[in-house]
Structure 1
Amino acid sequence: MTDQPAAHMHVPYFVVKQKLTMMVNRYEISESDQSFNPVRLLALAEQKRMAFKEQVTFYSDTGKSRAVFGFKARKKLDLNAGYDITDEGGQQIGFFKKDFGASLLRSTFHIEGAGFAGTGQERNQLVGLLRRFTEIPMLPIHFDFVDAQGQKLFSVERRMSIGDRYNVTVADTRVDFRIAAAVAVGLDALMAR
């Protein structure tokens, strides 16, 4: 293992699959083809259920032998503070934050990475409102993230399955896979899915 931080990595399509367990939210992140068929495991993450959503670490394998990236809240118990995304050496590579004011009607997140900044919102405001005010299970969660010029950065779409499954399309090559993966897992964790 080298002391050099990992280089920027663009992965155009990947899948985030949440595994159902009693005590832990477990996420498998796999590179996929355009049809979202997994082709290669990229990272695994675990988060204790009922714990504060302040930190998630992604590992290279099931034995958790090597932490490869993660995200951590800037302040404990302040969900409005945002989350720093770091590489395996602990260096910040990105940032995301839920915009609680804008999220009253449609969940909204702000993101930053090397060479870009953007905003992501639920694609369908009606579905967002239904998700907040009804008990309908398994409503879709679809987010589109765009830069200040309206150019698509990436999209996250939850598919119906046992356990949540998110298909992620990264249209912009400036978006590091680790940032898109951290945000996809963060959406699940922060929206208490």
Structure 2
Amino acid sequence: MTLDTLQAQQSLIVRQRIRFMVNQYEVHAVGPDGREAGVLAFAQQKRLAFKEQVTLYTDDTKQTPLLGFKARQVIDLGATYDVTDAHGQPIGEFKKAFGASLLRSTWVLQQPGYAEMVGQERSQLVAILRRFVDSLSWLPYHFDFTIGDRPAFSVVRKWGLRDRFEVTVHDPYLDRRLVVAMAVALDALQSR
């Protein structure tokens, strides 16, 4: 997979693999027929790490890194995560807006040269249910990210035995690596 191939995608599907002691995710392209096409990236996150870090690779052999994100500080509710390319160069950052997230999860995402993007759960009811009824943490959710009042991208968690997310990019100039990092983070970090 090349960076150009990833950047050309307007729709992506992120699937979680169920594994012991690690969270793993596959990022798929979406073909013209609307079905999953080839794997574009593979992510792995160790559970119970003191400093949250996720590395995305070009495939599940984990030979070639594509990007990664890492918390600036040890586990913290308002931690900022730096997103870097395969060579460790910054491509953006994101953080959970702690105060705004008390009743509806809200994330702030920054891509250099762009205005700040804000992503928030669409449904207040689902957001409240997921917070206060532990057994409902599996409920699907929908995040809309905007730049001002303009849509940037959305992430929709679908029903199913394992987590599946449909990602739609509305802004053609967004760095898809940053979008993928945020989509994975919504699952990997959401409950923190």
Scaled by the length of structure 1, the TM-score of the pair is: 0.90
Distance 1:44 1:98 in 2: 23
Runs of 4+ in 1 over 3 A off after TM superposition: 33-36
Instruction: Give the CA deviation at 1:140.
Output: 1.1
Counterparts in 2 of 1:20 and 1:35: CA distance versus 1, 3 Å: farther
Match for residue 151 of structure 2? 152
Amino acid at match of 1:147: I
Q: Which has the higher contact order (CA 8 A, sep 6+)?
A: 1
Instruction: Give the CA deviation at 1:115.
Output: 3.1
1:101-146, Cα deviation, whole Å (9 max, x unpaired): 0000100000011332210000001110000001225211110000
Match for residue 169 of structure 1? 168
Q: How does 1:38-57 map to 2 (within 5 A)?
A: 38-52=36-50, 54-57=52-55
Match for residue 181 of structure 2? 182
Distance 2:79 2:47 in 1: 21
Question: Are 1:45 and 1:57, in contact at CA under 8 Å, matched by a contact in 2?
Answer: yes
Counterparts in 2 of 1:107 and 1:34: CA distance versus 1, 3 Å: farther
Match for residue 73 of structure 1? 71
Q: How does 1:1-193 map to 2 (within 5 A)?
A: 9-33=7-31, 36-52=34-50, 54-116=52-114, 117-134=116-133, 135-148=135-148, 150-192=149-191
Helix, strand or coil: the match of 1:28?
Answer: strand
Helix, strand or coil: the match of 1:121?
Answer: strand
Alignment size in residue pairs: 187
Scaled by the length of structure 2, the TM-score of the pair is: 0.90
* Structure 2 alignment gaps of length 5 or more: none
| Identity value in percent | 48
